[in-house]
Amino acid sequence: MKDHVHICLSIPPKFAVSNVVGYLKGKSAISIAKNFRGRQRNFNGESFWARGYFVSTVGLDEKMVLDYIRNQEKDDEHRDQLKLQM
């Protein structure tokens, strides 16, 4: 499924998760608009990312979560192929 992004971050406790996510979404949307839409300024009224986000903490299973993120696209493609064969 190519309509979402998975990111595993380590954020120091002094930063609020909402601020970090807002910063990442804002800066990446501006960069995408500049590089792929040819915009140089005036991004008012445009939206690239969905309004919300999902956050979960990772403790002892960080390796498992990282493996899931790395293999997500391959797993989704495999599931899509199984649906086509039915």
Mind listing the pLDDT tens digit for each residue in 27-81?
A: 888 888 778 766 666 556 667 787 888 887 777 677 777 787 777 777 666 666 6
Instruction: Give the C-alpha distances (Å, rounded to integers) separating 67 from 34, 57, 58, 72, 79.
Output: 32, 15, 13, 8, 17
Residues annotated as catalytic (active site), given as ranges = 68
- pTM score above 0.75: no
**What is the pLDDT at residue 44?**
61
Q: Which of 66, 50, 48 has its CA nearest to residue 58?
A: 66
Return the domain boundaries, the chain: 17-85
